[in-house]
Structure 1
Amino acid sequence: MKKRRTFALFAVSLGLLMAPAWSQAAPVKLRFSHSHNTSDSQHIAAVEFAKKVKERTQGGVEIQIFPNNQLGNDVSMVSGVRGGTVDIGATGTPFLSGIVPRLNALDTPYIFENPQHVAKVMDGAIGKSLLDELGNFQIKGLAFWEVGFRSLANSRRPVNKAEDIKGLKVRTTPNPAHIKAFQLLGAAPQPMPYAEVFSALETKAVDGHENPPNVMLSSKMFEVQKYLSLTRHAYTALVVFMNKKKFESLKPEYQKILLEEAAAAAIFQRNLNAKDEAATLAELRKQGMEINEKPDVESIKAIVKDETRKLFIDKHGDELIKAIDAAAR
C-alpha cells in the first residue's frame, strides 16, 4: 500500500512537470479597444480572435474586448496603445498614417481593383513591411483587418456622377488623399474621428460621409442619411496593433499564436463582409435609404485618381505604389 501511494504521488508530480508552462501561470489579460458597436464585423472578428487565442493558449491569454469607443476614440486609442494603457487596438489606417506616412498609399483612391487585390497586398510582403514600420513607434502590428471599400452617403441629393458631389460638406478621415480627393471634386471635406460623425450628420454640421455600407448599417447612419452611391472610391484597412513592449513580454509561444490568429481573423472578417454585402444593402433600403449601385465611377476616377497618387509619390516616391499595382497582376 505504501509503495502504491508513493507511486501515485510520483505520477502526479511528473504530470505537473510535463504540463505546458503556460497552463501553470495566471492568465495574461489583454485589453482590446475598437470604435465600432457589437453588431459590426470588426467586433465579431475581435470576438473570434479572442476565442481562438484563449483556446490555443489553453486559457493562458484572455482578451477582453471594449467596443464602441469605451476606451477612447481612434486618436486616443493610438496614444493609449503606444503608452501602454491599452494593450491592443484596431483602427483605420488614416489614424496611424501620421506616424507611418507610407500607410497613406493604401488609402489612395482607386488603387485597389478588387477584394482579391486587397488580400494579396495586405497579407503579403507589402502588408508585412508596413506593419513592421510601426515597430519604430512602440507598436507591434499584428494584422490588417478591414474597414472596407468606401462609398458616399449624404442627406441632400442623389449622387450619380462627379458633378453631384460639388458643394457637399463631407466628413472624411484625416488621410491626405481622402481630403484631396473631395477638394478636387468641389466638396468641402471635414476630417473628424468616427465617434463624432453621427452627431455631426444629425445636426447638419456635415451633409454626408464616406464609409462601407456595412459600417453605415451597424452605426445606423440611415437615420441621418438618405442617399447612398456605391462609389467604392477608396479602400481602408483596419490595423490591429499592440503595445510593443507588452507583446515582447509574452512568451514566444503566445506571440506566435497572437500573430497567427490575428491573420486568421482578417480572412474571417473579409469573408463575413463579402457574404453579407447583399443583405446589408437590402436592409439599408428597407430602412429608407435610396441606393445608386451603379454611379458614374469613371467621372469620379478621372478627377481624383492621378492627382491623389501624385500627392503620395511627391512625398514618398513611387516604389510602394508600383508594388501595389504589380500585386494586381
Structure 2
Amino acid sequence: MKRAFIKTLLAAGAALLVAQPVLAQATKLRLAHSGAESETQHLAALEFAKQVKARSNGTLEVQVYGSSTLGNDNTAIASVRGGTIDLTTSGTPYYTGMVGRMNVLDLPYMFASTEHAYKVLDGPIGRGLLDELEGNGMKGLAYWEVGFRSLTNSKHPVRTPDDVKGLKVRTTPNPAHIKAFQLMGASPTPMPLAEVFGALEAKAVDGQENPVNIVRNNKFYEVQKYMSLTRHAYTAMPVVMNKKKFDGLKPEQQKALIEAAQAAGTFQRELIKKNEAADIAFLRSNGMQVEENVNLEPFRKLVAEPIKQMFVEKYGPQLIDAIQAAK
C-alpha cells in the first residue's frame, strides 16, 4: 500500500511538471552607438530597451553598447549590414554613401526649425528615405536626433563666415557638410566622433561642428575655447536593424520595435529641448565663450543655395520642394 501511494504521488508530480508552460527565452538584440553614456542618444537607447521589453511582453531584450565599444559609426553600420550587430544608430551623414537621396536632410539651412524637421522626418518623406535603406540590408525603424549643428574652435570667436577662413574643422563625411566649410574657406576633415577629442587635443584640427549637448557630453569644452551657434545644418539619427533579423521576427515583435524606437525618439527630442539652456550655461561655466546671437543670414547666403543646386543636379528638385512645402 505504501509503495503504491508513493508511485501515485510521483506520477501526479510528473503530470504537474508537464502541465507547466515552458517560458520562452527572450531574444537578445545588441544595439551599438558612438555616444557617451551621458549623451541623449545613450539615454534614448536605454529608453528604447525598456520600451522594447514592455511592448514585446518580454520576448525581446535589447542590450545597449555605447561609446563606440563595438566600433565607430562606420564599423557599427557595416556590422549591422553583415549581421554581427543587430541594431545601431548614427547620424544621417553615415548613411548617405548608400542612400544618396538621404543627403537632402543634411543640406545647410534646409529646416526652419526643429518642428519643421520633425514634420518631415515623421511623415512620408522621412519614412520613404528610411525604406530606401532596405536595399542595403537594413530596416529603418525611426529617427532619433543629433540636432542643429554649431561650430566650436580653439582659435577665435566666429561671428561671420570670414571668421571661419583658414580653420581646420572636423566634419562628418557628408558631402554637404564638407562643401559648406569649403565655401567658407575652411579645411574640412571628416572623422568618426570617437576620434574627435584626441584630434582637437593634439591640434590636428582647430574645431568641430556638433550640437550643444554633444559638445558638453564629449567634454569638447576642455579643448575648445569658442562656440558659435551657427545652426548651419540639422542632423537626424536613423535607428536601423539588420533586415534579415527583423524579417525573421513575429509581426507583433516587429511592431513593438518600431513603436519603441519612435517613443524613444520623442523621449530624446524632449530631453534635448529641455536641457539646451542648461548645457550652454554649463559650457560657459567651464570657460567657453558662446556666441548665441549669430547673424545667420551671411552664412545661409554663402552656402545654402550652391549646395542645394548640387543636390538638385544629381537627384532633381522634388525632395527639396516637398520639404519646403512642409514648413
TM bucket, shorter chain? over 0.9
Q: Deviations over 1:71-98 (max 9, x none)?
A: 0001111110000011000101001100
**Structure 1 spans left out of the alignment, 5+ residues:** 17-22
Distance 1:244 1:80 in 2: 12
Match of 2:82 in 1: 83
Distance 2:76 2:200 in 1: 23
Match of 1:44 in 2: 43
Distance 2:314 2:193 in 1: 27
Whether the aligned pair in 1 keeps the contact of 2:142 and 2:239 (CA below 8 Å) is yes
Distance 1:115 1:177 in 2: 19
Q: Please give the secondary structure, in 2, of the residue aligned with 1:65.
A: strand
Pairing 1:214-233 to 2, within 5 Å after superposition: 214-233=213-232
Structure 1 position 52, deviation (Å): 1.1
Matched, 1:96 2:112: no
- 2:176 partner letter: A
Match of 2:266 in 1: 267
Whether the aligned pair in 1 keeps the contact of 2:48 and 2:261 (CA below 8 Å) is yes
Distance 1:312 1:197 in 2: 28
Q: Please give the secondary structure, in 2, of the residue aligned with 1:26.
A: coil
Structure 1 position 178, deviation (Å): 0.5
Distance 2:285 2:200 in 1: 20
Match of 1:238 in 2: 237
Distance 2:234 2:259 in 1: 24
Match of 1:301 in 2: 300
Q: Please give the secondary structure, in 1, of the residue aligned with 2:232.
A: strand
Runs of 4+ deviating beyond 6 Å? none
Whether the aligned pair in 2 keeps the contact of 1:168 and 1:207 (CA below 8 Å) is yes
TM-score by length of 1: 0.93
Whether the aligned pair in 1 keeps the contact of 2:109 and 2:300 (CA below 8 Å) is yes
- State the identity as a percent: 55
Select the structure of larger CA radius of gyration. 2
Structure 1 position 275, deviation (Å): 0.5
Distance 1:205 1:310 in 2: 32
Structure 1 position 125, deviation (Å): 0.5
- 1:231 partner letter: T
Match of 1:142 in 2: 141
TM-score by length of 2: 0.94
Structure 1 position 65, deviation (Å): 0.3
Match of 2:208 in 1: 209
- 1:149 partner letter: F
Q: Please give the secondary structure, in 1, of the residue aligned with 2:263.
A: helix
Structure 1 position 58, deviation (Å): 2.4
- 1:82 partner letter: R
Q: Please give the secondary structure, in 1, of the residue aligned with 2:179.
A: helix
CA RMSD of aligned residues (A): 1.6
- 1:29 partner letter: K
Matched, 1:317 2:316: yes
Distance 2:284 2:197 in 1: 19
Structure 1 position 24, deviation (Å): 3.2
Pairing 1:1-329 to 2, within 5 Å after superposition: 13=19, 16=21, 24-328=23-327
Distance 2:136 2:35 in 1: 25
**Structure 2 spans left out of the alignment, 5+ residues:** 1-7
Whether the aligned pair in 2 keeps the contact of 1:201 and 1:207 (CA below 8 Å) is yes
Distance 1:311 1:200 in 2: 30
Distance 1:220 1:299 in 2: 29
Q: Deviations over 1:119-140 (max 9, x none)?
A: 1011111110000000011000
Match of 2:3 in 1: none
Distance 2:108 2:320 in 1: 12
Whether the aligned pair in 1 keeps the contact of 2:55 and 2:260 (CA below 8 Å) is no
